[in-house]
Structure 1
């Protein structure tokens, strides 16, 4: 029985589609002329489900064509191992995070301490893992995974990424001054992409709601959102709407306090010059 994050995500969406039609599993089975067990197996993304069965089920549930195509693709992909499911050093928590990132429509970061992982250079990531006491082999694996994750912002239909970054992150060198300057130059470069927006929370704002810790809100194509709270070994994922809502409100408040995109880039450029002048 697949227990991967992808299978769990598919299961959740299939059940949601049925509930939105106000049907029980047994009522849907009767409509389809199937056994209760067959519908249950499909909804729980167990081994043996077929694309044809899922397509038929979604048709009876009158799922919109774009969502139906997406869910059928998710079903088809269950039979192909994803890179994060076979990569050395990816634990179950991190696999769940990567799966959510891969499916996301938009990811909004709030970070008071470090550059967001999806925007880190290789040297900056290495400096962070070195400071955490990782071995050379662990660092190589961790950096490779982080670099691979960044593919979602570079693919043909890239994920939208918004980052609210505290100004102290720009001040703090990671590794050498060269590494810090390179990282900030990279941020100014990627910010030119249509799918990326970096907003700085200046020190003049004082205390703000983003100082409690690093988190991200991962918005899915179906309108649902998941919150990832940063912690060692990947952190915690929250998907209940009541848990997600306070973080969405925090982002709204931070958007009112952050510098504009243009002013954020000007401040970033000043810090690039600052770190370059100290090398």
Structure 2
């Protein structure tokens, strides 16, 4: 195992977290195994986190913060650690997303990441590789914290009807995912529309995209590719993307009709009343 003293805490959020965890553990005069026993994990896992070989989960962070009397220091670090587990090309977008006051997205193939269940996210992210899958899933789920704050953004999501039928992760995963979408009916800050198959040719045919608005920056237009993403502050591009979105909203079912369709697909395709 690498010597923790070799870690440069300024090298990355994960390094800083590991450095702080070790410092707090040593200050409490606890061995790796002793801390592991207290927070219900193995000493080996604690060692891997302290050497930046593994990212912590939020649950482990909460227990470690309480056990070591860190007064929230580890909890404040954890969102930075989670975000650092996102693909490098996506991190800039995630930072802008966290600051946005309005988020508009169109998704042609998948449930938007802000609305995904953990099981659905695991199935999507694990298609090609299981490497660091827990960390990557945690990073995606962490993005959803912006929906639970005191001042959440207004999130407007348009999903192609195909998203409801593409069985990601199996029957049960899809049932839970669509049930979660229906739960957002009670959230004033999350609005969901479905673009039905009957819409035919539509403005979103080139692919999925997002538009971010905030008080401190001009509108951001974002398009994701296979292994990269393109984010632009160009006002003409952002305006053109907004026009596409307006056309998609007009072609989509209303929020109420969309919920009815999701409920019907959940019952008929995945076998249970939501």
TM-score normalised to structure 2 length:
0.68
Look up the match of 2:175. Answer: 181
Whole-angstrom distance in 2 between the partners of 1:174 and 1:120: 11
Compute the displacement of 1:84 (Å). Answer: 3.4
1:216 to 210, 224, 240: 210
Q: RMSD between aligned alpha carbons?
A: 2.2
Match of 1:141 in 2: 135
Say whether the 8 Å CA contact 2:82–2:135 is kept in structure 1: no
Match of 1:128 in 2: 124
Query: Displacement of 1:92 after TM fit?
Result: 3.4
Aligned equivalents of 1:242 and 1:82: distance in 2? 37
Q: Would the aligned equivalents of 1:180 and 1:275 in 2 still touch at CA under 8 Å? A: no
Alpha-carbon distance in structure 1 between the residues aligned to 2:232 and 2:174: 32
* 8 Å Cα contact 1:178/1:275 also seen in 2: no
Q: From 147, 158, 161, give the equivalent of 2:152.
A: 158
Relative to structure 2, which stretch is displaced further, 198-207 or 223-232? 223-232
Matched with 1:83 is: 79
Query: Alignment partner of 1:210: what SS?
Result: coil
How far is the alpha carbon of 1:191 from its aligned partner?
2.9
Mapping 1:226-245, distance limit 5 Å = 226-233=220-227, 235-245=229-239
Q: What's the counterpart of residue 266 of structure 2?
A: 272
**Secondary structure of 1:207 counterpart:** coil
After superposition, the Cα gap between the structure-2 partners of 1:216 and 1:99, relative to the gap in structure 1 and judged at 3 Å, is same
- How far apart in 2 are the matches of 1:250 and 1:241? 14
> Would you say the 8 A contact 2:83–2:91 is kept in 1?
no
Who is 1:103 aligned against? Answer: 99
Deviations 1:13-66 (A, max 9, x none): xxxxxxxxxxxxxxxxxxxxxxxxxxxxxxxxxxxxxxxxxxxxxxxxxxxxxx
Pairwise CA distance, 1:98: 1.1
Secondary structure of the structure 2 residue equivalent to 1:114: coil
Q: Whole-Å Cα distance in 2 between the matches of residues 276 and 86 of structure 1?
A: 32
2:90 is matched with which residue?
A: 94
Asked whether the 8 Å contact 1:119–1:150 carries over to 2, the reply is yes
Between Structure 1 and Structure 2, the one with more helix by share is 1
Give the Cα–Cα distance (whole angstroms) in 2 for the partners of residues 126 and 92 of structure 1: 19
| 2:4 aligned partner | none
- Whole-angstrom distance in 1 between the partners of 2:129 and 2:166: 20
Unmatched 5+ stretches in structure 1:
5-79
How far apart, in 1, do the equivalents of 2:191 and 2:82 lie?
Answer: 32
Partner of 1:206: 200
Q: Is the 8 A contact 2:83 2:142 kept in 1?
A: no
C-alpha distance after superposition, 1:133-187 (max 9, x if no partner): 122x422111100100000111111111100111011111101111111100000
Question: Is residue 94–residue 233 contact of structure 1 (8 Å, CA) maintained in 2?
Answer: no
Runs (5+) with no aligned partner, structure 2: 1-9, 13-75
Please give the alpha-carbon distance, in whole angstroms, between the structure 1 residues aligned to 2:205 and 2:82.
Answer: 35
Between the aligned partners of 1:112 and 1:209, the Cα distance in structure 2 is: 11
Task: State the TM-score, normalizing by the size of structure 1.
Answer: 0.66
